[in-house]
Amino acid sequence: MTTFDPQTVLDSLEAEYAARATAIRRDLTASHSADSAEQAGERQNDEVLQALLVEAEQGQAQAAQAKLRLSGGSYGLCQRCGVAIAPARLQALPTAAFCLGCADLAE
């Protein structure tokens, strides 16, 4: 059984999201076809890529925020109620800022 190392996991997540965002930005700057029918499909693809870019940027920001909490000593504590976040939740969602109860309230 491996030990959960939040710093390593968060560093990896942040790098993964950054690489994903870079690749998506590169794809978005690719030129489009001169054919109008193909352009319509490419524009739809661009919309999907834009949504994926937003997700990647949000993931990168969440990882960075979690790293700040880790360095500040508040990682693993719910940002709403202050209760310790379950270790299983942190392993499944290393960027979790809320305990399960508070996360349910936020939704």
pLDDT in tens, 43-93: 788 899 999 999 999 999 999 999 999 999 999 999 999 999 999 999 999
Residues 37 and 58 in one domain: yes
Residues 38 and 84 in one domain: no
DSSP-derived 3-state class of residue 77: strand
Instruction: Enter the tokens of residue 28.
Output: 């978005």
Q: Which residue range is the domain that position 30 belongs to?
A: 1-75
Residues 96 and 53 in one domain: no
Residues 65 and 97 in one domain: no
| Number of domains the chain is built from | 2
Confidence (pTM): 0.83
The count of other CB atoms within 10 Å of the CB of residue 34 is 7
Q: Is the pLDDT of residue 14 over 60?
A: yes
Q: Is the pLDDT of residue 36 over 70?
A: no
Residues 40 and 30 in one domain: yes
Which amino acid, residue 48? V
Beta strands in the chain (DSSP E): none
